[in-house]
Structures are given as structure tokens and as C-alpha cells.
Amino acid sequence: MRMDEDGALEVARGFAALLRAEHFDKIAELFAPPLRAMVSAEALQLAWATEAAGHGGIRAVREPVIEAGETDPIRVRIAVTCADAGFTVVTSVGGDGLLHGLRLDPHDGAVWQPPHYAQEDRFTEREVLLDTGPLAVPGTLTLPDGPGPWPAAVLLAGGGPFDRDGTSGPNKPLKDIAWGLASRQVAVLRFDKPTFAHPDRLPSDFTMADEYLPPALAAVRLLRRQPEVAPDRIHLLGHSMGGKAAPRIAAADPTIAGLVLLAADAQPMHEAAVRVAHYLATLTPGPSADEAVAALTRQAALAASPELTPDTPPNLLPLGFFAAYWLDLRAYDPVATAAALACPMLILQGGRDYQVTVTDDLELWQRALANRPEVAIRIHQDANHLFFTGSGQATPAEYARPGHVAPAVVDEIATWLARQ
């Protein structure tokens, strides 16, 4: 049953009041079970502290406003004013009086514009469906004009419930790359992650392998059937956790021609999460940030300990991920897996990236792969985690400003793919 708008506003006002008071444990009690399984109180607290840090500190949480149009659950927007601009909390109120969706919109509805290097008259796009069953995901196949056969890349989004474009606020870095490569005669297939397309269908034993392998391998198979695609020139291009997963996918399908790894994390993720949280806490110090770091540190210790079992509740673990997810990650070494592959690789890193860094991650890839002639490793010194160009200390506020993947990065990828 759909709740009436007055009732939805009342629930949203209670939620907004808890946000103002930063009572994250009480907020989690408002979550419907599927949302509670995905977002813990600690994960919400960390996300809130991150946005606060990126916008110079929170000044006010405004009155909720219902979005125009009939939706079920009813979608509500709550504007948050900060010292540096602000952001919007978007939630959905169901007929049961609980919150069924939650996201932080750092740029309140800004519309993505194509980068200048995307030439839309040089390619066409069509919708596809990857794999079968309850976790099949939709995607977009982008084909250069002409008969080909062209080299191809399957794009793999980073960690979290990302759509096929890697949408982050007003930015779509994977769409930048897809359109940029297609303009340079590379076929591209990108897809919504299962965590984005089916957040309410994920089983409790869901792992990174489940998240990436079925849709990625299905994407490779689909590309191989396209007459415009060279079947022996299909590559994986992974960003962040997508780069971490890429060697695992290539190990499962030896026909994959090569890997492009963008800001691929190699440090164990529970350690990286704590490192990043400490960094963000230095941007806007305060009790809330300190509490978030302390909570995450405790959760990371459990994720790394022998006491972790498949039955450990996700609310005790970092980022609200299931215990099976962390157990699977602990058993997977992306660098060793990549070192066992014979295919060529292009590894790119942003010098201003605080999430995946030269010291904590790239040096591990370099140590294992730098002496192999078929592996190229490059640092784009002015690039952040999204490979947007900037200067000075990197902060989350950069992700809220409209931008595009640097032309030099897209050009380097296209040139490398053309050579393979």
C-alpha cells in the first residue's frame, strides 16, 4: 500500500531530525530490512562524515520536500547546507512507514554533458541484457560506425552499487571512457552492477566473485558474437574495485586479450577503508568523524580476524558487506592473480588519488609486474581517483563538481588497445 504524502513527510521529518542530531543508530532503525542489510549505521555515519568533510562542514539540515510525480515508495529530498555549497539526501518512504532507499546526491540533479572528445556521430548504442536469472543485469553496447572488426573493452565499475556509467554526483566517468573509446574505434560494453540493479535480491552469501564474474563473462561472450568485434581482441577495463576484480575474471576466461586497470586497489580493502577514513577525518576534524573512524577500525579488525565466520552479522563489519563478501576478499590476491596471467596489461594511477594510492597500491602492482615487457604502468600526476585533473590536496568535494576523465587518459587507453 502506498503511503499518503502527508504521512511520508512526517516520516521524513523524523529522519531529518535524526540526521541533524547525528543519531545514526536510531536512523538505521527506520530502514526497511533490505536497506538495513546493505547500509549499517556505521556506514551511514562514515558517508555523512565524508560529505561533511568534502563540503567544509554541515550548517543545516532543511525541511524534507516530496519529489514531483507519482512514485511508490514516495521519494523525498532533504537539502543539507554546508560551509561550501551543500548536498541532498534522497530517500524513499514506503507504505510501511520505513525507508526503502537512501543516497547522498552531492550535486543535486546536475546533468552530465558529453566530454569534448566524444564524437557522437562516430558510434551507435543499444541496450543489452547480460546473463540470465534473478541477477541478470542491463547494459549498453557501444559500437563504432563501420564494419570493423574493432578491438573491444568490457568496463567494470568500482566498489559499491554503481550503474553502468559509474555515476557519481554529476559525473559519469565510465560513460566518458565508453564514448571516448568508441569515438576512437573501440567497441565498449558497460553494465549496471547487480548491487545497483537488484539490491533487494542479493543473498547473504553474496561475494565479489558473484558481483563481477557472471555479468563480465556474459559481456565477453556477447561481444564475441558481434560481427563488428574482433573476437581475439576483447579486453577488460576495470576502475578501482573493478580493476581489482579484472585479473580474477581474466583467470576464468583465458580468451580475454588483456587488462586495463585504472586506480586498481591492491591493499586489503578493510585496511584501505580505515586509511581513507583517517584521511577524511583530517579534512574536517570533530567528534562525529572520530567516532566513525573508531567504529570502522573495530569493524575492520573483525573482518581481518580468525573470528570472522559466514554467520557474522553485516552490521558488525565494514561498509555493511556480508561476512561471505569479506571472507571471499581475504582469499583473493589480485596482484598474484595478475602475475600468473600471460596477457598484456596497462595499469594507470592518479597521483592525487587518496582512495587508491601510489604508495599503498600501485607499488604492489609495480613490484610484481614492472619487469614484464607486456605490462605498461603509468602515473598521471594531476589526476584524482576518477582520473579528473586537478591541483592541491584532493578532497571528496572534487567529485561533486562536474568534470570528465582527462583526455590524455582516454587517449592513452585507446592507443594501447589499438596496438594489442
Quote the pLDDT of residue 143.
98
Greater confidence, 1 or 303? 303
- What integer is the mean pLDDT of 105-129? 88
The rounded mean pLDDT for the chain is 91
pLDDT in tens, 51-106: 777 777 889 999 999 987 666 788 899 999 888 778 888 888 988 899 987 877 76
149 cis-preceded (ω within 30 degrees of 0)? yes
Q: What are phi and psi of 79, to 5 degrees?
A: -75, 140
- What integer is the mean pLDDT of 123-141? 94
Poorest-confidence range of 47-51, 143-147, 172-176, 273-277?
47-51
Quote the pLDDT of residue 86.
80
* Beta carbons of 84 and 56 less than 8 angstroms apart: yes
Quote the pLDDT of residue 329.
97
Q: 117 is written with which cell numbers?
A: 572528445
pLDDT interval class at 2 (50, 70, 90): low
73 cis-preceded (ω within 30 degrees of 0)? yes
Q: Which domains does the chain have, with CATH numbers?
A: 5-105 (3.10.450.50), 120-263+333-419 (3.40.50.1820)
pLDDT interval class at 107 (50, 70, 90): low
* Beta carbons of 347 and 365 less than 8 angstroms apart: yes
Angle 223-115-155 (CA atoms, 0-180°, nearest 5)? 25
* Beta carbons of 396 and 54 less than 8 angstroms apart: yes
CA distance 76 to 92: 6
Residue 307, classed as helix, strand or coil, is coil
* Beta carbons of 249 and 282 less than 8 angstroms apart: no
Q: What are phi and psi of 30, to 5 degrees?
A: -85, -10
The count of other CB atoms within 10 Å of the CB of residue 270 is 24
Quote the pLDDT of residue 38.
65
DSSP secondary structure code for residue 393 in this structure: S
CA distance 148 to 173: 25
Residue 303, classed as helix, strand or coil, is helix
- What integer is the mean pLDDT of 371-391? 96
The count of other CB atoms within 10 Å of the CB of residue 355 is 23
pLDDT at 151 over 90: yes
CA separation, residue 188 to residues 59, 131, 227, 241 (Å) = 43, 17, 14, 19
pLDDT in tens, 202-247: 888 999 999 999 999 999 999 999 999 999 999 999 999 999 999 9
What are 320's strand-pairing partners? none
Q: 217 is written with which cell numbers?
A: 563473462
The residues near 162 (Cβ < 8 Å, ≥ 6 apart) are 192, 193, 195, 196
